[in-house]
Amino acid sequence: MSIAVKLLELRKSKGLSQEELAVDLSISQSTISNYEKGTSKPDVDTLKKYASYFQVALSEFFVDDNYTFYNHENKNKGDINNLVINQLSEQLLEQFEKRIDDKELIIKLQNDTIVILKDTITGLQKVILKK
């Protein structure tokens, strides 16, 4: 489930309008609309607001989404949040491993075909040379 769908479902589960949620989270209604449509993605601080408001773990927003986020130093507070969420790399590795397996199978089949063709050519050459 994408972050957009998760945010929409959380809001609807509480029976809130975008305007009501916007007021509660101090975010504009249009920003909430963009998050729910997936035209933009919230930063970690905004997701923390959502998580706290809806009493869910922050990690729930990243379960099935290909989302990479780096939240760098907050210069106003002087703290560093090294939150890095990257499920994309794990999913990419799985996809590449499958592709490699598929390619290895194709190569084996092609090699088998080459052996058969070589045998056929050799057989034809013998037939031609006997004539």
Residue 103 belongs to domain spanning: 87-131
Cα-Cα-Cα-Cα dihedral sign, residues 105, 110, 112, 113: positive
pLDDT score of 18 more than 90: yes
74 with 16, same domain? Answer: yes
CB 47 within 8 A of CB 61: yes
Average pLDDT, the chain: 81
Tokens standing for residue 7:
């945010």
Number of domains in the chain: 2
Residues 51 and 76 reside in one and the same domain? yes
Q: From CA 115, how far away is CA 112, in angstroms rounded? A: 5
pLDDT at 66: 54
* Helices and strands per DSSP (H, E), number in the chain: 5, 2
91 and 31 in a common domain: no
94 and 46 inside one domain: no
Determine the pLDDT at residue 117: 96
Give the pLDDT confidence of 64-107 residue by residue, as tens digits: 555 554 444 444 444 444 444 444 566 677 788 888 989 999 99
Q: Say whether pLDDT at 22 is over 90.
A: yes
Is residue 18 within 8 A of residue 36, CB to CB? The reply is yes
